[in-house]
A and B are shown apart, each in its own frame.
Chain A
Amino acid sequence: MSSQRATLLTGVATAIRLHGEQTFPHECCGALVGVNRQVTAAVALPNTTEEGPRRRFLVRPSDYQLAERRASELGGELLGFYHSHPDHPARPSQFDLDHAWPNFAYVIVSVMSGSAADMTVWFLKEDRSSFDEGELHGDENPDSNPAQAVHG
């Protein structure tokens, strides 16, 4: 199967990194909005997990609906979600896999000792057995653009 890809337009990668640094040592989460695998906005959402936000995130149904509405308002569609892995690599865990939706891009940013590091993108295989790592384009130098996440 050909590799899937996601392209982050200007400011999106920086916004995701900043969000991950702001919530450190907790995980951040948010929605990816755009068209045709081109992400034009990162919509920051609250992490509502009750299982410990240092190692889990949860976007509750009402915030999912808000993300769908924001995507429409921004003239795009919901392409996926991002979250951070504080002091862990930017690779999906078994828990990520067990809770993944198909056809979404999952961007993960590693935040090591409070500083955002690697960023990756993943797509659930159709048989749910694992993720395929996609090609992530448009990941800027984290210091190059001071854009903020769009708050839903």
Chain B
Amino acid sequence: MATRILIPTPLRPYTDKRDAVEAEGATIGELLADLTKKHAGLKAHLYNEQGKLRSFVNVYLNDEDIRYLQKEQTPVSAGDTISIIPSVAGGSRS
């Protein structure tokens, strides 16, 4: 089952400038694995060295943050849309 994933501006250079792509999977985790397999440049920016989603990467299933669902185990149904939405953080001191 192919699911539509919306890609934010800074990641579009890795998806041939497309703002939406499709990936296969029954859960968010499987979808993101397929996404990063098809578009290899995404992986380093979505996942940290421990293989966890970076804290400033927000993944939404339709309008719900997956942190409040079942995180990467959240099941995906036909017609769902996944969005990768950045938080932008920083600061003067480390």
Contacts and interface: CB of A to CB of B under 8 A. Distances in A.
A83 B90 contact: yes
Instruction: Give the interface size class of chain A.
Output: 35 or more
Contacts, number: 91
Instruction: Give the interface size class of chain B.
Output: 20 to 34
A78 B9 contact: yes
Interface stretch (B22-30, B68-76, B80-88): B80-88
A93 B93 contact: yes
Given A78-B9, A101-B10, A102-B10, A61 B89 contact: no
30 contacts: A27-B91, A29-B88, A49-B89, A49-B91, A58-B88, A59-B87, A59-B88, A59-B89, A61-B60, A61-B85, A61-B86, A61-B87, A64-B86, A68-B9, A78-B9, A85-B92, A88-B92, A88-B93, A93-B91, A95-B89, A95-B90, A95-B94, A96-B90, A99-B55, A99-B90, A101-B10, A102-B10, A103-B13, A106-B90, A128-B44
Interface of B: 8-13, 44-45, 55-56, 58, 60, 65, 85-94
